[in-house]
Homo-oligomer: A and B are copies of this chain.
Amino acid sequence: MTNMNVKAIALRARQAAPTLGLLSTERKNAALEAMAEAVLKNKTLILSANQKDLRSARQKGLAASLIKRLELNDAKLRGIADSILLIAKLDDPVGRVIQTVSRPNGLVIQKVRVPIGVILIIYESRPNVTADCMALCLKSGNSVILKGGSESLHSNAALYRVMRAAAVSHGVPEGALELVMSTDRAAVKTLLGLSDLIDLVIPRGGEGLIREVARISKIPVIKHTKGICHVYVDKDADLAKSEAIVVNAKAQNPAVCNAMETLLVHESVAKAFLPRAAAALRDKGVELRGCEKTRAIVPGVQKASTKDWTTEYLDLILSIRVVKNFEEAVQHIETYGSRHSDAIVTENKQAAEAFTRAVDSACVFVNASTRFADGGEFGMGAEMGISTDRLHARGPMGLEELTSYKYVVLGSGQVRK
């Protein structure tokens, strides 16, 4: 794919943005419903495209876990369609008045949500990301440029084509939904230089991809990097709650960014808590690695090194550290954490409040599992991912986080003195 083609794609997206931004909620919802229907109607076409990707994945010897993520089937297509319908049902953020201020001189100043403009999504493997991103960007009034991974090229293209045709037939401007059909790395580099045409880049995938995009990009990037999440069991913790939270945070879905990677336990409850927690975790197949104090309490725990404190296992492995006090727990999180999601378990209100103030993470939990750090669980309905950045959007990103705002100032002839 030549640079010219890539630029033409970005230009089409840019030119479609103003029209898309003014589409009524009704029209966008009708388009979304048609897109969901189109996914189900064109099942055979999409699944046969997916088979092509699966064949070449097997030929290339891709890992079984990756092949599983790549695979589509009836149930997954139903899930994709349901997810689009859910986005259709969410409130439209565009045009929402966030704030109104009346000034002494009679000016009325409204802060109104508007689309960001053109959003580039660079992602890997899972074809459902194609559908989610198209639906989220359309609902929030943003033109989207999709650049998926080569391993899901045919699946992405098939989903894209049927969804786009449905959207366009409902009045969505053609350029509003663009897909870069290229496995060429140069295409990505060209795209990431088009800061006059593209407003925002969201990379979704492994840490390597995300860091590389951030390094090259001339366009603002919102990163969704790793989650080294902690649960701290305080001296005043309810140990039954602690056990349930710890098991859930680690084992309910260990492959995701909001799963716990390190357990911190106050030394005054370590002897009472660690044996029961270890048993419950091992019951779920979790491998334990720990500090010396942990190993003295729980037999058979492998020794944890500094590397364990900084590793996102994304697997049934947990590192455990016994801390002297609250401050050491907070310090550990500050030093080794990734400021994603961290939890305290305590019945002590002061400790809970101190933790939520001192721990500088996107999501700070008191007496709840870190697994709740999720757009759906936060009531956003659907999410674009979980931002580990601090600007514009932090934590789960829903439709609102895909908007900017403008000030609309209503006067009656006011001039400045």
Contact = CB atoms under 8 A, between A and B. Distances in A.
Interface of A: 18, 21-22, 95, 101, 103, 107, 109, 112, 114, 116-117, 199-200, 215, 218, 220, 238, 240-241, 244-245, 247-249, 252, 334, 352, 356-358, 360-369, 371-373, 377-379, 389-392, 394-396, 404-416
Contact of A414 (B240, B367, B406, B412): B367
Contacts of A407: 362-364, 373, 378, 395-396
A21 B378 CA distance: 25
Nearest to A380: B101
A369 B107 CA distance: 11
A364 B103 contact: no
A389 to B, nearest CB: 8
A238 B245 CA distance: 66
Given A241-B413, A372-B416, A412-B367, A391 B390 contact: no
Given A103-B379, A334-B18, A391-B220, A413 B368 contact: yes
Contacts of A365: 409, 411
Contacts of A252: 415-416
Contacts of A373: 407, 409
A362 to B, nearest CB: 6
Given A114-B360, A364-B408, 17 more contacts: A107-B372, A200-B390, A215-B218, A220-B389, A244-B413, A247-B415, A248-B415, A360-B406, A362-B407, A363-B407, A364-B406, A364-B407, A367-B414, A368-B414, A373-B407, A373-B409, A394-B404
Contacts of A18: 334, 358, 360
Chain A interface helix/strand/loop/mixed? mixed
A207 B274 CA distance: 60
Contacts of A360: 18, 21, 114, 406
A243 B188 CA distance: 50
Nearest to A415: B248
11 contacts: A114-B360, A245-B413, A245-B415, A248-B416, A363-B409, A366-B409, A366-B410, A367-B410, A368-B414, A390-B404, A391-B404
A348 to B, nearest CB: 14
Contact of A394 (B245, B379, B405, B416): B405
A91 B107 CA distance: 22
A167 to B, nearest CB: 22
Q: Which 4 A-B pairs have the closest CB atoms?
A: A368-B411, A248-B415, A241-B413, A371-B416
B413 A379 contact: no
Contact of A378 (B101, B412, B416): B101
